Amino acid sequence: MLRQALLAATVSGVALLSAGAALAQTDVESAGVDDIVVTAQRRSENIREVPFAVTALNTQTLQEISAGGADILSLSGRVPSLQLESSNGRYAPRFYIRGLGNVDFDFTASQPVSVVLDDVVLESVYLKGFPLFDVQQLEVLRGPQGTLFGRNTPAGVVKIDTVKPSDAFTGFGSLTYGNLGSTRTEAAVTLPASDTLQVRGAILWNHRDDWVNNAYNPSFADANDDDLGGFDDLAARVHVAWTPTDRLSTLLTLQARDYDGTGTMNRANALTKGSNELNGNFDRDTVYYDGGRNNFQKQQTTSQSLRVAYDFGPATLTGIVGSYQGWSQGDGDIDGGVASAATTASYKTPFNSETGTLSSDLLQNTYELRLASNDDARLGWQIGAFYWDERINLVSGTFNGVGGLQPTRVTDITQKSDSWSVFGQGSYRVTEALKVTAGLRYTDDNRDYQGRIVTGTGAGGTGAVSVGDEQVSWDVSALYEVNDSLNLFARVAKGYRGPSIQGRNLPVLTTADSETVMSYETGFKARLWDGRARLNGTAYAYEVSDMQFTAIGGADNSNRLINADKGEGYGLELDGDIDLGAGFSLSAGAAWNHTEIKDGDLLVAICGSNCTVTDPIVTVGATRRANVDGNPFPQAPEYTANLTLNYVLPLGDDTEFFASTDWAMQKDFNLFLYESVEFMVDTNFEGGLRAGWRDLNKGLEAAAYVRNLTDEENVIGAIDFNNLTAFVNEPRTYGVQLTKRF
């Protein structure tokens, strides 16, 4: 009953937003909702002036959902049509927008959702898990963004802007302590050294104790203590802003991260054939691993970027140079159980599977030059050029699965990639009410792969392949101001994702051709209820040609790239805010996303054992395969919804009591390309609660929080080649938080 009640509350909240124009409230005063300024088109503008769907999350929202130590995966469902998941723990998240994403768990995989941090693209999945701290605003740009943000953005962009230095001495310190030994410490300060030089420094330490017991007690586990689930994540950032003249400004940014923790915890036999519900074998606090050395993970990243802008008067020339370096290591008991266990043991698996990263080294460099008009004339424009190159060396190991330290098979691969492009965008105000925008980008992509089997089966074997392509992406949009409260928009865009290579499992080496997306969307952006409500709505449809998919698993632990003839998606999105008065405010969003694979000849491998496949089965040689024509895209929820209700009660003397509750839901999605009863998720949802006291004059705040309030056990992924193994969301966390701002 609780689940149904919470879902009903979410739907009711969205309905309330839709009815905002018809509501009347005359007995209380209301402050209204603030305008939101975004940089979705590489210039600051009111979100209502952007001719496509974009949603912004502010600092407060991000701090609340991360209070219990959560990572970037906590964004999943917080924005309409946004989905995140990972089988790589806390450092390699996978993003999906409107159903478009990539389930490939390899570090060399490409994604159709780009992450841009402080104007520098984080191309590799390896980098996209950089922790969120001291963030000013996060924007989710839905739909192809191929003109201004380039390659690999046919689904959209997650754009993150951190707090920059200013000419005021400001800062904050925050300390959070909770169950599971969770401690999160975040601090930042801006130091105005002079009229022309300012520095902003920020640091985050995120810690959790081990809280999961490896009850099999192998030699690498502590028989008397917990072994998994803990982490230490230390990250820091320094911005140095120098403005020697009114026309010239520079920003130097240095970042570093050192992470040591537990990877994804696979749970053997957590599902039962014929059911997608977690069974009695699942225990949050217990696993049984004979390999994987407790699924350890380590990652270190550093980065440097320099942004220089010169204002010529009519236009500003901006140059951005960025570099990221990274290293990681990890291991995992992939089967999630023990092959040598008794037949009756709940953690018995058909065979052992243990793989890991012995070493990975990443180097990414980006260079961008952009010239943009300054004035607010009828014609606005920007032109630019962009270059990106990346080198990743990945040494992978397969182990005996029972604790052996020396790998039985080692694969060493190196992938070099580069891309250059030129782009331009122009907007013209046809009338005071109508503005038309058009953009064009030419991109040239290349990838080169070299791999070899160092030891084990097939030792001495090598593989090499190169792929490349040239594409033109574009968009045309119109924004019409009906009145001061309502804007209408329409947009047509072509997006592009470059060709991909997958060679993790030599001698199997697969490639995928480029995919292109034609997208159509129309919608409205409105201020309602005398400025006390905001409501945005979008209807969209897209078609993907030569759609890239990754076929995961089957009978073995492998990834294979394939191209489907076509894929299609269409849906509706709503999001908005209401100031309800009497201290209450409500934010909510919802989306319906329909996706469908369109390829009558596309066959993929199915589960190795125990699952109930509902697709047509075709036997190819001695292998059974599923025809996935008509299936939805993997990890593409048909329905998503989110709701946040805030309350503030003034207490006098600039003090106040506050409380907020937030909920997010994803409903009806497949974990794999094929459909099976066990690997289809019905409904996942999570909620949180935070309440406390603040003194606005002194900048003090004390709060208590609970994340995953109802302790939901949501299946977010599975392993299909060995047994019915699943992995789940974070447990319930709770604690207290103290913050001082100045």
pLDDT in tens, 654-699: 999 999 999 999 999 999 999 999 999 999 999 999 999 999 999 9
Residue 17: per-residue pLDDT: 37
Summarize the confidence of residues 492-497 as an average pLDDT: 96
Residue 170: per-residue pLDDT: 96
- Closest residue by Cα to residue 506 from 366, 429, 398, 423: 398
DSSP 34: P
* Residue 289 confidence class, pLDDT cut points 50, 70, 90: very high
Summarize the confidence of residues 20-36 as an average pLDDT: 51
The residue that leads in pLDDT, 630 or 610, is 630
Summarize the confidence of residues 503-515 as an average pLDDT: 92
Residue 742 reports pLDDT greater than 90: yes
Of the candidate CATH numbers 2.40.170.20, 3.90.650.10, 3.30.70.20, 3.30.200.20, the domain formed by 2-741 belongs to: 2.40.170.20
- Give the helix/strand (H/E) hosting 483: strand 462-483
Summarize the confidence of residues 355-361 as an average pLDDT: 95
Residue 295 reports pLDDT greater than 50: yes
Summarize the confidence of residues 505-527 as an average pLDDT: 95
CA dihedral 187, 190, 191, 192 (to 10 degrees): 180
Sheet holding 623-627, edge to edge: 603-605, 623-627, 617-620
- Give the helix/strand (H/E) hosting 620: strand 617-620
Residue 31: per-residue pLDDT: 59
- Amino acid found at 489: F
Per the CB < 8 A criterion, the answer to whether 301 and 107 are in contact is: no
- What distance in Å separates the CA atoms of residue 619 and residue 621, rounded to the nearest whole number? 6
Question: Pairing relation of β-strands 434-455 and 409-429?
Answer: antiparallel
Residue 5: per-residue pLDDT: 41
Summarize the confidence of residues 536-563 as an average pLDDT: 90
- Give the helix/strand (H/E) hosting 687: strand 680-695
Per the CB < 8 A criterion, the answer to whether 152 and 167 are in contact is: no
Residue 120 reports pLDDT greater than 90: yes
Provide the b/e sequence for 648-668 (b: ≥16 CB within 10 Å): eeeeeeeebebbbbbbbbbbe
Residue 555: per-residue pLDDT: 65
- What distance in Å separates the CA atoms of residue 173 and residue 203, rounded to the nearest whole number? 10
* Residue 387 confidence class, pLDDT cut points 50, 70, 90: very high
- What distance in Å separates the CA atoms of residue 474 and residue 583, rounded to the nearest whole number? 45
The percentage of the chain sitting over the pLDDT mark of 90, rounded to a whole number, equals: 84
DSSP 278: B
Would you mind telling me the total number of residues written for the chain in this entry?
Answer: 742
* Residue 33 confidence class, pLDDT cut points 50, 70, 90: confident
712 in helix, strand or coil?
A: coil
Write the DSSP string, 484-500: TTEEEEEEEEEEEE--E
Query: Which region among 27-31, 177-181, 476-480, 644-648 has the lowest average model confidence (pLDDT)?
Result: 27-31
Place of tokens 């990945």: 394
Residue 650: per-residue pLDDT: 97
- Closest residue by Cα to residue 58 from 73, 37, 77, 40: 37
Residue 27: per-residue pLDDT: 36
- Closest residue by Cα to residue 30 from 660, 484, 529: 529
CA distances for 415 relative to 260, 391, 394, 452, angstroms: 25, 6, 9, 12
CA 192 to chain centroid: 34
- Closest residue by Cα to residue 683 from 661, 646, 714: 714
DSSP 75: G
Per the CB < 8 A criterion, the answer to whether 547 and 154 are in contact is: no
